[in-house]
């Protein structure tokens, strides 16, 4: 028997349908040609907690203290995550005992590789294993992948990289969380990627809150030329006084003198520069660019975009979602016309710009890593079943694919200098020659102000001009923008933009940033769930609790440079040039140093009673009183009320909540 182990039931069903289904059984599908397809539900195995390495039984509550830290496992322990995982693991183990060959059909990434490989190691399977690498779940791509299965050993570095990441997160997160919790007297979570991400937001928020606006002035003039009128502004850096270190005009008296000196005066053009330029259509989406787009266009969270995209993938409409690569295989270019013709029946709008003779730079097989860019598949069967959000995202992905075949945007970049009353004014703008793909593309959000595209009339050096009017605009400098889901994902992806050290910036520009395409959305959601971050409209803002945590954590823990360098080494492991032993030794050494530092600290933080939970829609009343001991952790419960006035018990240590029973004791447990 040949056994396929898929990442999830939907993938298993898609594979089985192509192979040919004979019978569905408990936890598997029996197919033609003596093939069986089974599945996982994501990771079926979980890492043991530190207590188990310290001699406590699994599930037994261990006492947290500084003495045994750091916990550095010599032999890592894994076990089934829960009862349903244990049941499915037994089914898989029984099937493995009957098979002569296994095909790893995890998602086409590092985590998908580990997800299946760790099961094979757990059951001590040593037989033949191959790898099915599926970029999408439509019939055509599955058939192609089934003809191209490879030796699973080829992907061994992917598994090792994912395992390295998992163990590093355990070492950093659990050791430092325990250490800071013991020292502070309340639960403080620390994460290898979570904490530097929180630090990004806190630093941005503090820059905004501490920003002191500065007044400055802009002198403008309406210029009449024989070919038309345009607006020009004074070039202040040529002045001898009245400007600051950034060449902004700050002396109101001088600006008024200049505006009066040039009003209704003649002058001439002293310089003209016309440069013909073109801009190619954007690359196909990868996950981070799609998350940034959806945040800007529709105010979607990063997680909502990923979840919606995952649904489209499982409905066989789009390629694999968690991709960090925008390129497409060159060999698919010749078949692109068939796909476009199919998509036109779904979305005719925009297809008029498609020119199949245009070969975009995205068609480059050599630049494809584990995945391709996000594109539609030929299987449009499920289109009619899409909900509003799924349809919106799917159609945007179709439009993105149309853009690959759209003509370039062509324009003339124009800049002009003019002299009026011995003052130099400048103007710049564009003259559109061909709208090209911009007739279809939607403008994306940018982290900062967009440059305006002004139209300028044709001009030549020496032409006469006249200032028909002039004036002064009073302005203030503005702080940086708050993060949104889209710009925070972008910041995590391009962390080098937020680094001041030039040497580190150069290194990090070539690496992966912090987190991965697959994990960044969940990291943001976890920070929101823990109430370190909160959303206000589009904005993501750090809470007082988030600022407090970052305030007393050392740079070594919250520094994104260190985390990004770790991510870079994980990429080296995936490429086969790094090794897990070196990486984990470095993590262990780092943890030992940090724990020694923490043991010498005295940490003072806000009392947990001041912590107001916002999750789950429950709002405690302003009046609360102490209650009995928490059944879970023995800390004192606090009696609160929901917004509807219903009383409940809340534990601020383990975050458990209990409805009162008939004796007014903690009864049914729930969590926020």
Report the CATH number that the domain containing residue 386 is assigned in CATH.
Answer: 1.10.290.10
Q: How many domains does one find in the chain?
A: 3
Q: Are residues 293 and 395 in the same domain?
A: yes
User: Smallest Cα–Cα separation from 92: which of 59, 115, 58?
Assistant: 115
pLDDT band at 183 (very low <50, low <70, confident <90, very high): confident
Shared-domain flag, residues 397 and 427: no
CA angle (55 as vertex; 52, 57 as ends), nearest 5: 60
- Cα separation, 658 vs 595, in Å, equals 35
Tens digits of residue pLDDT in 436-482: 999 886 544 444 433 345 788 999 999 999 999 999 999 999 999 99
pLDDT for residue 572: 92
What is the structure's pLDDT at 606?
Answer: 52
Q: Give a yes or no: residue 660 inside a domain.
A: yes
Q: What pLDDT does 453 receive?
A: 57
Q: Which of 643, 662, 660, 640 is nearest to 651 (CA)?
A: 640
**417 shares a domain with 359:** no
93-152 per-position pLDDT tens digit:
999 999 999 999 999 999 999 999 999 999 999 999 999 999 999 999 999 999 999 999
**What is the CB neighbour count within 10 angstroms for residue 53?**
17
- Catalytic residues, by residue number, are 320
For position 450, what pLDDT does the model report? Answer: 39
| Span 23-64, pLDDT tens digits | 999 999 999 999 999 999 999 999 999 999 999 998 888 889
pLDDT > 90: what percent of the chain? 73
Considering the domain boundaries, does residue 129 fall inside one?
Answer: no
Residues 665 and 617 occupy one common structural domain = yes
The domain spanning residue 256 has which CATH number?
2.70.20.10
Whether residue 416 sits in one domain with residue 369? no
CA 287 to chain centre: 8
Other residues' Cβ atoms within 10 Å of the Cβ of residue 178:
24
* 122 found inside a domain: no
Calpha distance 146→227 (Å, rounded): 66
pLDDT for position 212: 93
Per-residue pLDDT, averaged over 287-306, amounts to 95
At residue 671, the pLDDT reads 54
4 burial type by CB count under 10 A (0-12 exposed, 13-18 middle, 19+ buried): buried
- 395 within domain boundaries: yes
Does residue 383 sit in the same domain as residue 296?
Answer: yes
Indicate the residue among 350, 373, 403 that finishes a domain. Answer: 403
Classify residue 621: in a domain, yes or no: yes
| Listed residues 403, 424, 444: the one ending a domain | 403
Residue 317 covered by a domain: yes
- Same-domain pairing of 321 and 388: yes
Mean pLDDT calculated for residue range 202-224: 95
Pair 275, 422 in one domain: yes
pLDDT higher for 534 or 627? 534
Tell me: the pLDDT tens digits for 506-559? 777 776 688 888 889 999 999 999 999 999 999 999 999 899 889 878 888 988
Please give the average per-residue pLDDT across 261-287, as a whole number: 96
Cβ(505)–Cβ(566) below 8 Å? no
**Following DSSP, what letter does each residue of 489-505 receive, concatenated?**
HHHHHTGGGG---HHHH
Instruction: Judge whether 104 and 130 are in contact, CB under 8 Å.
Output: yes
Instruction: Kindly report, residue by residue over 3-27, the tens digit of the pLDDT.
Output: 999 999 999 999 999 999 999 999 9
Mean pLDDT over each residue of the chain, to the nearest integer:
89
| pLDDT score of 622 | 34
To the nearest whole percent, how much of the chain has pLDDT over 70? 92
β-strands 483-484, 423-434 pairing:
unpaired
Pair 294, 316 in one domain: yes
- Domain assignment of residue 635, given as a range: 610-671
Nearest alpha carbon to residue 5 among 83, 117, 100: 117
Q: How confident is the model at residue 615 (pLDDT cuts 50, 70, 90)?
A: very low
Q: Residue 273: inside a domain, yes or no?
A: yes
pLDDT, one tens digit per residue, over 388-398 is 999 999 999 99
Q: Give rounded-to-5 percent helix, strand, coil for the chain.
A: 40, 20, 40
Query: Is position 299 within any domain?
Result: yes
Q: Which residues of 15-38 are buried (b: 16+ CB within 10 A; e: fewer)?
A: bbebbeeeeeeebbbebeeebbbb
**How far is it between the farthest Cα atoms of the chain?**
94
Q: Compute the distance between CA of residue 188 and CA of residue 182 in angstroms, rounded to an integer.
A: 9
Provide the pairing of β-strand 533-536 with 539-542: antiparallel
- pLDDT, tens digit, for every residue of 316-330? 999 999 999 999 999
Q: Is the peptide bond before 70 cis (omega within 30 degrees of 0)?
A: yes
Question: What's residue 59's pLDDT?
Answer: 82
- b/e string for 227-258 if b means 16 or more Cβ within 10 A? eeebebebebeebeebbeeeebbeeeebbeeb
The values of phi and psi at residue 268, to 5°, are -150, 160
């Amino acid at each position: 028997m040949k056994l396929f182990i898929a990442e999830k039931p939907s993938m298993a069903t898609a594979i089985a349908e192509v192979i040919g289904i004979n019978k569905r059984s408990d936890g598997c599908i029996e197919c033609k040609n003596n093939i069986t397809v089974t599945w996982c539900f994501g990771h079926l195995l979980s890492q043991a907690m530190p207590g188990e390495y310290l001699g406590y039984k699994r599930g037994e509550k261990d006492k947290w203290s500084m003495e045994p830290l750091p916990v550095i496992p010599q032999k890592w322990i894994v076990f089934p995550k829960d009862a349903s995982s244990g049941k499915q693991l037994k089914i898989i183990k029984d099937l493995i005992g009957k098979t002569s060959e296994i095909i790893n059909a995890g998602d086409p990434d590092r985590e998908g590789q580990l997800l299946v490989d760790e099961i094979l190691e757990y059951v001590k399977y040593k037989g033949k294993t191959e790898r099915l690498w599926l970029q999408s779940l439509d019939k055509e791509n599955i058939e192609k992948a089934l003809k191209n299965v490879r030796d699973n050993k080829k992907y061994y570095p992917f598994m090792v990289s994912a395992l390295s990441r998992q163990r590093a997160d355990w070492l950093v997160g659990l050791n430092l969380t325990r250490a800071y919790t013991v020292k502070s007297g309340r639960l403080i979570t620390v994460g290898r990627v979570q904490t530097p991400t929180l630090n990004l937001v806190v630093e941005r928020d503090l820059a905004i809150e501490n920003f002191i606006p500065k007044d400055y002035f802009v002198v403008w003039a309406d210029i009449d030329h024989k070919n038309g009128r345009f607006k020009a502004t004074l070039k202040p850096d040529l002045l001898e006084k009245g400007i600051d270190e950034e060449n902004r005009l700050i002396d109101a008296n001088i600006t008024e003198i200049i505006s009066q000196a040039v009003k209704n005066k003649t002058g001439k053009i002293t310089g003209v520069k016309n440069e013909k330029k073109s801009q190619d259509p954007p690359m196909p989406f990868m996950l981070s660019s799609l998350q940034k787009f959806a945040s800007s266009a529709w105010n979607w969270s990063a997680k909502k975009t990923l979840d919606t995209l995952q649904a489209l993938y499982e409905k066989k409409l789009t390629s694999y979602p968690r991709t960090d690569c925008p390129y497409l295989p060159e060999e698919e270019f010749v078949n692109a016309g068939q796909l476009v013709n199919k998509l036109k029946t779904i979305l005719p709008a925009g297809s008029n710009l498609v020119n199949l003779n245009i070969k975009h730079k995205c068609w480059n097989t050599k630049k494809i890593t584990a995945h391709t860019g996000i594109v539609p598949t030929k299987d449009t069967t499920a289109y009619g079943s899409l909900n509003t959000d799924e349809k919106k995202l799917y159609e945007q992905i179709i439009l993105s694919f149309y853009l690959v075949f759209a003509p370039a945007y062509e324009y003339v970049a124009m800049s002009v200098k003019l002299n009026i009353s011995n003052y130099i004014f400048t103007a710049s703008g564009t003259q559109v020659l061909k709208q090209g793909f911009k007739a279809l593309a939607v403008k994306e959000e940018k982290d900062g102000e967009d440059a305006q595209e002004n139209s300028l009339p044709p001009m030549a050096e020496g032409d006469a001009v006249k200032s028909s009017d002039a004036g002064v605009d009073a302005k203030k400098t503005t702080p940086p923008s708050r993060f949104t889901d889209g710009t925070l994902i972008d910041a995590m992806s391009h962390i080098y933009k937020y680094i001041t050290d030039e040497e580190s910036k150069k290194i990090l520009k070539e690496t992966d940033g912090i987190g991965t395409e697959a994990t960044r959305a969940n990291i943001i959601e976890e920070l929101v769930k823990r109430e370190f971050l909160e959303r206000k409209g589009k904005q993501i803002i750090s809470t007082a609790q988030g600022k407090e945590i970052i305030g007393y954590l050392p740079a070594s823990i919250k520094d994104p440079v260190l985390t990004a360098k770790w991510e870079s080494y994980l990429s080296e492991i995936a490429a086969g040039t790094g090794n897990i032993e070196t990486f984990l030794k470095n993590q262990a050494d780092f943890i030992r140093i940090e724990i020694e530092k923490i043991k010498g600290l005295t940490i003072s933080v806000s009392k947990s009673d001041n912590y107001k939970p916002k999750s789950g829609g429950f709002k405690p009343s302003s009046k609360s009183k102490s209650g009995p001991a928490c059944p879970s952790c023995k800390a004192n419960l606090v009696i609160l009320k929901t917004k509807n006035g219903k009383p409940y018990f809340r534990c601020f240590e383990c975050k458990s909540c209990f409805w009162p029973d008939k004796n007014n004791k903690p009864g049914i447990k729930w969590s926020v």
